[in-house]
Amino acid sequence: MTLDGLGIQVTELDFKGDTIVAPWPLPESPPELPPLLSSEPAAAGVTEQLVLGDTLGAGGMGVVRSAWQTALSREVAVKMVHRTPTTPRAAAALMREAWVTGWLEHPNVVPIHALGQDADGQPILVMKRVDGTSWSEAIASARPAERQTEAYLRHHLGILVQVATAIEYAHTRGIVHRDLKPENVMVGGFNEVYIVDWGIAVRISDQAPEGVPHARDIARIEGTPHYMAPEMVVGDGARIGTHTDVYLLGATLYHVVMGRGPHEAPNLQATLYRSLSGTPPAFDPSVSPELRAIVERAMDPDPEQRFESAAAFARALSAYLSHRGSLDLAREAERRASEVTALVETTESPTAEQEARAREAFHEARFGYEHALRVWPENELAASGRAVLLESLAELELRRGAPTAALDLLHQLPSPSPDLEARAAVALAEEEERVRRLGELERDADLSVGIEVRSRRLMAGAVVFTVGSVGAGLLARHGVLEVKHWHFAVLGGVLLLGNLGGALLRPAHVLATATNRLVVLNLALTVASCSALWVLLGEAGVSLPLSTATVVLVAGAMLTLNVALMGRRWLPLPLSTIPCLLGLWVWPEYPLELLGVLGLGGIASGFLMRRHIHHEAPPDRAREARPGTSGE
C-alpha cells in the first residue's frame, strides 16, 4: 500500500523536526495578546518585563530562549516562532500549546507564566525554565546491554509511570496529547518529569478551551511517524481518543527497552505503512516477556484490545516494577526446570546419573518457583512453571514405578493433569495389588506363622503316639492284649482324625498359610500311608518286627519332606527312625516299645519349635494365625 493509496499526498505533509503537522486553517481573528517584548529601549525608570538570554533549543516551528523576568526576579523560558513563510501556522500552534498547557495544571506539565506577543506581534509563551535534559538523550546514552538492568528499568519505567499518570489527568480534562515520545519529555536535575510540546494536542470534550481544535475536526495526518497509532495515519479525527495516547505510551515503552521508535523504516512511506498495518515490532531476546506483553497490548491495532486507560497502563508498569524480582526468580527457576522437562520428553528410561541431575534441578527449580510465589502470590509464570515442574517429575516417578511419589506431587497442585492423575491412580492400584500378593506369598512361605499351633499339635500327637505304642507293648508283654497289625492302623486312624479334625475345626489357625497346609497334608499322608502299610503287611503274613521296620523306613522317608518344607526344627522326627531301626535290629522282641521312639522325635521337634517362639520368631508371627492378618 502506498501513501497515494491512503489518499495522502506527500506534499501535504509538513515536517517540523520529527513531527508531522497538518496545515490547519488560521483563525480569522487572532486574539489580542499583551506585549511582553518591545523593540524600543525602555524609557528612563521603566524596566523591561523580559530580558532575553541564550537559546536553549530549537525545533521545526520555533525556538526556546532563556529570559529574565524582571518583575519577579526569576529566570524563565520563552518560546517563540521562527520567522519563516510558515510563521502564521507556527504561531497558531504555539497559541494552541499555550492554551492546552495553561488548562492542565499538573506537576508533570510545565507551568505557563504568560502568553503575549513580541515587538513584531508574534506570540511568545513564557513558562517555567526546566533545568534538565530531554529524556531521549538519557535513553540514547545507555548501551544496549544496560537496557535490561535493574537500575535502568527502574529509573526509566518510573519516568514513564509519571508520564502516563499525567496523561491520564489530561484525559480527565478532555485533552489528548497525540505526540508522546521520549523527545517530548524533559527530566529535571532533581528527576522532575515534564511533558512538553502540546502543539498538536486536541480536545475530546467541550469543557476544554475552545481555541484547542476538537479531535473530530482532524482530517490530516499529524504526529511522529515512528510512534504513530494506526488511527493517526488514517487522518480521521473520529477515531482519535484516549486510546491513541495509550498506543503512544506503548510506543514510548518500546523506545525505552529497545532504544528506537517501533515504526522506524528507511523512508516515510514504509514507516507509515508499518504503523497502519499493525505489524508487531521486533524485540531483542533480552527483553522480558512481561514488558513485551505490556508493549504489545498497549500497541494493539484494535483500540478495544489496548489498556482501557493511561492509568491502567501505569498500573501495569508499576506492577511489573514491584514484581520484577519475583519474575526474575521465576525465569531462573524455569531455566532449571527445563532440564527436568527435557529429560521427561526425550528419555523413557533415564540412567541413574540422569535421574540424579534431574532431581537436583527439580529441587532448585521448585525452590525458585515457591520463593517467587512468596514474593508475589499472583505470579502466573511461577505458578504455571511450578505446575509443569511437578507434573514432569510425577511423570518421571511413574516411569520408574513409584506411583505413590507421583500422586504426592500431583496432590500439591490445585488442578493437576487429569490424565496423569488417572494413570498414577491406576499404577498405584496395581502396585498395591502386587504388594498384597507378595505379602500373601511371603506369609505363605513364612515358617513362623502359626508355629505355636503346629508345635502344640505335633507334641500332642507325638505324646498320643508314644503312649499308644509303649502302652500296647506293655499290655502285650503281660498277656492282656494280643497286638495285631490292624491295631496300628487303628492308632494311625486316631492320629489322622485328630490331624484332619483339628484342621477342619480351626481352619483359620491350622490352614492359615500354604506351608501349614502342606505340613497338615504331609502328616496326613504319612499317617494314612503307614496305617495302610500295616494292614497290607499283616495280610501278607509279615512278622510284627519286620513290619515295624518297614513302616518306620517309609515314615522316615516321608517325614523328611517336612524338613525340606519347615526347616531343621523338624529334623528330630525323621532322625528318630535311626535309633528305632537299630533297636529293632538288636531287640526285635520289643517292636512296639521301640516304635515309641518316633513319638519322642516328634516331642523333640515340638520342643525346638517352642524354643523358636521364645527366642527367634516375631511375636506377631509366633501366635496362632488369624484371618486377615499377615503375621498369624
- Rounded Cα distance between 603 and 580, Å, is 15
Cα angle 522, 523, 524; round to 5? 90
Q: 516417578: which residue's cell? A: 397
Mean pLDDT for the stretch of residues 592-620:
73
Percent of the chain with pLDDT over 90: 33
Mean pLDDT for the stretch of residues 64-89:
84
Mean pLDDT for the stretch of residues 274-303:
92
Res. 15 pLDDT band, cuts 50 70 90: very low
Is residue 226 pLDDT above 50, yes or no? yes
Q: Comparing 72 with 312, which gets the higher pLDDT?
A: 312
By mean pLDDT, which of 89-98, 375-384, 491-500 is the weakest?
491-500
pLDDT at 18: 64
Is residue 3 pLDDT above 60, yes or no? no
Q: Are 211 and 96 in contact (CB under 8 A)?
A: yes
- 447-470 per-position pLDDT tens digit: 666 677 767 777 887 888 788 888
Query: Cβ of 310: how many Cβ atoms within 10 Å?
Result: 27
Query: Which among 127, 119, 121, 14 has a CA at the least distance from the CA of 61?
Result: 14
Q: Comparing 498 with 293, which gets the higher pLDDT?
A: 293
By mean pLDDT, which of 283-297, 332-346, 568-582 is the weakest?
568-582
- 111-134 per-position pLDDT tens digit: 999 888 888 888 899 999 988 899
Domain 134-308 CATH assignment equals 1.10.510.10: yes
Res. 500 pLDDT band, cuts 50 70 90: confident
Res. 623 pLDDT band, cuts 50 70 90: very low
Is residue 442 pLDDT above 50, yes or no? yes
Superfamily of domain covering 31-37+47-129: Phosphorylase Kinase; domain 1 (3.30.200.20)
By mean pLDDT, which of 508-512, 520-524, 616-620 is the weakest?
616-620
Res. 612 pLDDT band, cuts 50 70 90: low
- 228-253 per-position pLDDT tens digit: 999 999 888 999 999 999 999 999 99
Q: Comparing 177 with 475, which gets the higher pLDDT?
A: 177
Say what the pTM is.
0.61
Mean pLDDT for the stretch of residues 559-583:
82
- Rounded Cα distance between 86 and 89, Å, is 5
- Rounded Cα distance between 36 and 48, Å, is 8
Q: 3-class SS at 237?
A: helix
Question: C-alpha 42: how far from its chain's center?
Answer: 77
Q: Comparing 291 with 507, which gets the higher pLDDT?
A: 291
Helix (H) or strand (E) run with residue 55 in it? strand 50-58
Is residue 602 pLDDT above 60, yes or no? yes
pLDDT at 521: 79
Give me the phi and psi of 241, to 5 degrees please: -165, -170
Q: Are 581 and 552 in contact (CB under 8 A)?
A: yes
Q: Comparing 400 with 84, which gets the higher pLDDT?
A: 400
Contacts of residue 500, defined as CB under 8 A and 6 or more positions apart, other chains included, come to 520, 524
pLDDT at 140: 95
Res. 315 pLDDT band, cuts 50 70 90: very high
pLDDT at 574: 84
Is residue 613 pLDDT above 70, yes or no? no
Q: Are 281 and 295 in contact (CB under 8 A)?
A: yes
Helix (H) or strand (E) run with residue 123 in it? strand 123-128
Q: Comparing 337 with 608, which gets the higher pLDDT?
A: 337
- 165-200 per-position pLDDT tens digit: 999 999 999 999 999 999 999 999 888 999 998 888
pLDDT, the chain, mean: 83
Res. 624 pLDDT band, cuts 50 70 90: very low
Q: 3-class SS at 358?
A: helix
Mean pLDDT for the stretch of residues 304-333:
93
- 133-142 per-position pLDDT tens digit: 999 999 999 9
CB burial of residue 348 (10 Å; 0-12, 13-18, 19+) = exposed
Mean pLDDT for the stretch of residues 63-78:
90
Query: Which among 201, 226, 107, 238 has a CA at the least distance from the CA of 163?
Result: 107
β-bridge partners, 117? 35, 123
Res. 347 pLDDT band, cuts 50 70 90: confident
Is residue 564 pLDDT above 80, yes or no? no
- Rounded Cα distance between 428 and 411, Å, is 14
Percent of the chain with pLDDT over 70: 85
